[in-house]
Amino acid sequence: MSNKKVLSALVRNHPGVLQRVSGLFYRRGYNIETISACATENPKFTRMTMVVVTNDELEMSQIIRQLSKIQDIRRIAILDEEKAIFSESMMVKFECAPENRTEFLNLAFRNHMNVLYIGDSTVTVTATGSPDDLDGVLEKFVAYPIVELTRSGMSAIEASDRPFVEMDDAEFIN
């Protein structure tokens, strides 16, 4: 992830927040590789994980400053590989003839994939892991053409015992 930075933001969970964040990136011409948003343990908040492509530290600090100006953002942090856990999921539909199915399924199970659907000429599987792990898994399936592929985008969480932010909801929620 040399030129990629992972940002984790805790934001208010209400309509329009994702649009404001993505709009900022669009207006400023920043490149987002992935962006994902999901509910947290507190239904008032959403965690957004953004993978931003930049080699410029000045640009990264500008991105952080601009995001910090968005009223709905409670906390934003750059997560690095030493202090965070990264994960994403993917679903892949592979072309797989019936006579190759046993070999394919054995390979899928050895790679900790779950089978979602077996069709007449395809097999659809899912896997979860770090982005690099998923790339490595795909390399093992070169004998099976990919019909469709979808990836969730990265999720990340700090590798620590403390919460991302300790908060009093009253200080943040109007």
Mean pLDDT confidence for 35-45: 89
Query: pTM of the entire structure?
Result: 0.77
pLDDT at 139 exceeding the cut of 50: yes
pLDDT at 170 exceeding the cut of 60: no
| E strand or H helix that includes residue 31 | strand 31-39
What is the rounded distance in angstroms from the CA atom of residue 123 to the CA atom of residue 8? 34
Domain limits, CATH 3.30.70.260, in the chain: 4-79
What is the rounded distance in angstroms from the CA atom of residue 145 to the CA atom of residue 165? 44
What is the rounded distance in angstroms from the CA atom of residue 132 to the CA atom of residue 58? 27
**Superfamily designation of domain 85-151:** ACT-like. Chain A, domain 2 (3.30.70.1150)
pLDDT tens track for 60-93 = 899 999 999 999 999 998 888 888 888 999 999 9
Instruction: Give the CATH architecture of domain 4-79.
Output: 2-Layer Sandwich (3.30)
Confidence band (pLDDT; 50, 70, 90) for 55?
Answer: confident
pLDDT tens track for 20-30 = 999 998 998 88
Confidence band (pLDDT; 50, 70, 90) for 106?
Answer: very high
